[in-house]
Amino acid sequence: MPASAAKLRLAETVKEADLVIDGVTMRFETREGAITAVDDMSFSVERGEFVSIIGPSGCGKSTVFNILGGLVRGYEGKVSVGGDVISGPHPSIGMVFQEESTFPWRTVLDNVAFPLEVKGVRKAERHEAARHFIDMVGLNGFEQRYPAELSGGMRQRVAIARTLVFEPKILLMDEPFAALDEQTRLLLGDKVLKIQETLKQTTLLITHNITEAVQLSDRVIIMTFRPGKVKRIVDIRLPRPRTGDVVGSEAFGRHVAEIWNDLREEASRGMAESEAGARRRKG
């Protein structure tokens, strides 16, 4: 094969999308009638790319997350993961959920080793792998603790390590740091940046935190308030490798302002709608 053809093929593989969501619409039946949670959404995430989805509460972010994870049926449109159109969970996806998800009855070590235990990996081997990822999220020394003995941020790191331990090619995270204070969030953001630099997984992060989205992402997808659509996709032009220091730069501030400008409109609509809902329920 001529060198130019080999180069072209390489370029094609590098540009290959790992996640493609194509014209996806999802409706839910509720007591107040049918609602369209996600409306004709299309976007893709390239191999090795870090993309965030940001949008106001209730705009359909977790719905998109669950659809990509293969946990929801009954949507219109098509979702492909690693080139396969999915109809259920795909083995190359690892998910970190919005809700607290550590097992309280297991130590940190046995929480993180759990996916390998399910796979039948021997104890010594799975503990070694678990230790590696516990170290990566900065929890060495806490292997024998139980989740109740950790802070919220530490528990989320356990959940992240447990997802990383089976080395998913694609990582989906739904507001993993939502319950944390700003400082912890920024420091965990640093950890996530380092982990992604090392493992180079394709990552999709759901968040409603603008700083976090800009700090971590190559692109940020802004969603509209119900029905959730893609409002705009912003390229984050900040150099990599990044650290938490990037937050203080002028370019960072400009990106934050730009995204807030779009988001403010959607967040206000969301707030107006929930206030109207509260009045209806009262009256």
Ligand X SMILES: Nc1ncnc2c1ncn2[C@@H]1O[C@H](COP(=O)(O)OP(=O)(O)OP(=O)(O)O)[C@@H](O)[C@H]1O
Closest separation in Å from C-beta 121 to ligand X: 33
What residue ranges bind ligand X (CB under 6 A)?
28, 30, 35, 37, 55, 57-63, 208
Which residue reads 């998913």 in tokens? 168
Please state, in angstroms and rounded to a whole number, the distance separating the CA atoms of residues 253 and 240.
17
Tokens of 160: 């992240």
Please state, in angstroms and rounded to a whole number, the distance separating the CA atoms of residues 166 and 168.
6
> Which residues in 227-246 contact Mg ion (CB under 5 A)?
none
Please state, in angstroms and rounded to a whole number, the distance separating the CA atoms of residues 62 and 143.
30
CB under 5 to 8 A by kind: which of ligand X, Mg ion, none does 243 bind? none
Residue among 61 and 185 whose Cβ is closer to ligand X: 61
The answer to whether the CB of 174 falls within 8 A of the CB of 156 is no
Closest separation in Å from C-beta 35 to ligand X: 6
Beta bridge partners of 51: 204, 219
Count of residues in contact with Mg ion, rule CB under 5 A: 2
Residue among 66 and 194 whose Cβ is closer to ligand X: 66
Q: What is the DSSP string of 95-143?
A: EE-SS----TTS-HHHHHHHHHHHTT--HHHHHHHHHHHHHHTT-TT-T
> Which residues in 51-110 contact Mg ion (CB under 5 A)?
61-62
Closest residue to ligand X, based on beta-carbon distance? 62
Closest separation in Å from C-beta 62 to Mg ion: 3
Contact map string, positions 7 to 46, toward Mg ion, x by CB under 5 A: ----------------------------------------
Closest residue to Mg ion, based on beta-carbon distance? 62
Closest separation in Å from C-beta 29 to ligand X: 7
Rg, Å, the chain Cα set: 20
**What residues make contact with Mg ion under the rule CB under 5 A?**
61-62
